[in-house]
Amino acid sequence: MIYADNAATTKMSQTAADAMLSCMGEAWGNASSLYKFGQKTAETLEAAREKAASCLGVADPREIYFTSGGSEADNQAILSVARSSAKQGKKHIVSTAFEHHAVLHTLKKLEKEGFEVDLLDVHENGMISPEQVAKAIREDTCLVTTMYANNEIGSILPIAEIGAVCRERGVLFHTDAVQAAGHLPIDVQKENIDLLSLSGHKFHGPKGTGILYAKKGVPLLNLIEGGAQERGKRAGTENVPAIVGMAAALEEACANMEEDTRKVVAMRQRLIEGLSKIPHSALNGDTERRLPGNVNFCFEGIEGESLLLLLDDRGICASSGSACTSGSLDPSHVLLSIGRPHEVAHGSLRLSLCADNTEEDVDKILQAVPEVVSYLRSISPLWKEKVSGERSFLLPE
């Protein structure tokens, strides 16, 4: 099997699994208990917090809050800042049209509470500029939230510059860095980030783990009532083994980042070059500012779902931004946001690699995808109409 869906989730690393197992055997006491055995767990927890802080350029480990994942961190960051700022009459939020649903749906909820949300248009190449952000900020803006890197098309936003704009205007800046953490170097201080979300299972850590970084002084609300864990901001006995596994995975990913990036980028470039040769195809996202492992193409005249199923038959696990996988008939909001027409957006393929992939995987994918695309086109009535000239092509030859 070739696993090329690392943007959806990753396999846990042996380092993370070992760290979890040893934690389960040794530090299983309750970190809130006063006896030494509980305090040992508390120390294990704080060591994980320090490890995570040092990987992200966080000044004080107390600015790290452990959550159940990226979605929870996004929800808590956005709801906290918005609801706290509403008291000062600041009810305007700036975000982008291609955020993850954890952000977009949270913003929808706030709109129902009377907030006004501006979603910035995404450039054709999947970029948002600091100038766009500057233009959108108003007197009553309480929060700017833009993702660090897009999960579908892999484009990497100019985060430090967007952060600088927010600092200058006195607006808090949150970034959903779920796709970036463990894959790109992050320094929250140098990049002017006030709040950041990440998720353990996107960098070979355990599922159900995440981090919300919130700079000292940023108002955080507790969304779960209960005990005083996580400085009173996130009640519930900590999942210490999972937290330890996430911290170990993050440390490992950051230590290996340069080497892994070199390897993964080489495979990505070979895929992009090879798949570009398919007629009437187009690469989605930026060619340069792109996540190391992300490949995303639109192939005219096919349905993404059919492509995925046929690739699955050949042992290739990939993803498509398009519809039916997510139970709706709408194509990916991300592909629509960069201006792909509905029809083209339906024929998308995302391959996301990690350092466990091999050059042989790339060879097999480069063999399979063109064959499957050709086959699907050969049985498509729509494609026949295009070839015969009754209907026009939307993507160049």
Ligand X SMILES: *Cc1c(COP(=O)(O)O)cnc(C)c1O
Stretch that binds ligand X, among 175-183, 282-290, 320-328, 355-363 (CB under 6 A): 175-183
Position among 90, 91, 92, 100 found at the interface with ligand X (CB under 6 A):
100
> Minimum Å distance from CB 294 to ligand X?
11
Looking at the Cβ atoms of 41 and 294, the one nearer to ligand X is: 294
Looking at the Cβ atoms of 203 and 297, the one nearer to ligand X is: 203
Residues 6+ apart with CB under 8 A from 396: 280, 282
Q: Does 175 bind ligand X (CB under 6 A)?
A: no
Looking at the Cβ atoms of 118 and 176, the one nearer to ligand X is: 176
Q: Does 69 bind ligand X (CB under 6 A)?
A: yes
Q: Specify whether 324 is catalytic.
A: yes
Stretch that binds ligand X, among 68-76, 86-94, 182-190, 318-326 (CB under 6 A): 68-76
Position among 13, 132, 192, 199 found at the interface with ligand X (CB under 6 A):
199
Stretch that binds ligand X, among 105-113, 183-191, 198-206, 359-367 (CB under 6 A): 198-206
Residues 6+ apart with CB under 8 A from 386: 300, 301, 392, 393
Radius of gyration of the chain (CA): 22
Question: Angle at CA 177, nearest 5°, toward 172 and 179?
Answer: 160
Name the E strands within the chain. 2-3, 64-67, 92-96, 116-120, 141-145, 172-176, 195-199, 210-214, 281-283, 294-299, 316-317, 348-352
> Minimum Å distance from CB 370 to ligand X?
28
Looking at the Cβ atoms of 151 and 296, the one nearer to ligand X is: 151
**What is the C-alpha to C-alpha distance for residues 341 and 361, in angstroms, rounded to an integer?**
31
Position among 16, 23, 70, 194 found at the interface with ligand X (CB under 6 A):
70
Q: Does 210 bind ligand X (CB under 6 A)?
A: yes
Looking at the Cβ atoms of 128 and 302, the one nearer to ligand X is: 128
Residue 221 · residue 84 · CB < 8 Å: yes
Looking at the Cβ atoms of 29 and 208, the one nearer to ligand X is: 208
Amino acid at 26: E
List the catalytic residue out of 298, 317, 324, 354.
Answer: 324
> Minimum Å distance from CB 102 to ligand X?
5
> Minimum Å distance from CB 202 to ligand X?
6
Residues 6+ apart with CB under 8 A from 320: 304, 305, 307, 308, 348, 349, 350
**What is the C-alpha to C-alpha distance for residues 142 and 136, in angstroms, rounded to an integer?**
12
Bridge-based pairing of strands 64-67 and 210-214 is antiparallel
Looking at the Cβ atoms of 310 and 354, the one nearer to ligand X is: 354
Stretch that binds ligand X, among 34-42, 194-202, 291-299, 387-395 (CB under 6 A): 194-202
| Tokens 């990939």 belong to residue | 318
- What would you measure as the largest C-alpha separation in the chain, in angstroms? 79
Q: Does 176 bind ligand X (CB under 6 A)?
A: yes
**Binders in 142-171 for ligand X, by CB under 6 A:** 147, 151
Position among 107, 171, 178, 264 found at the interface with ligand X (CB under 6 A):
178
HEC sequence for 244-294 = HHHHHHHHHHHHCHHHHHHHHHHHHHHHHHHHHCCCCEEECCCCCCECCCE
Q: Does 132 bind ligand X (CB under 6 A)?
A: no
**Binders in 263-302 for ligand X, by CB under 6 A:** none
Applying CB under 6 A, the site for ligand X has a residue count of 15
**What is the C-alpha to C-alpha distance for residues 197 and 65, in angstroms, rounded to an integer?**
10
SS3 131: helix
Q: Does 44 bind ligand X (CB under 6 A)?
A: no
Looking at the Cβ atoms of 68 and 380, the one nearer to ligand X is: 68
Stretch that binds ligand X, among 196-204, 223-231, 289-297, 350-358 (CB under 6 A): 196-204
Among all residues, which ones are annotated catalytic? 324
Binding site for ligand X (CB under 6 A): 69-71, 74, 100, 102, 147, 151, 176, 178-179, 199, 201-202, 210
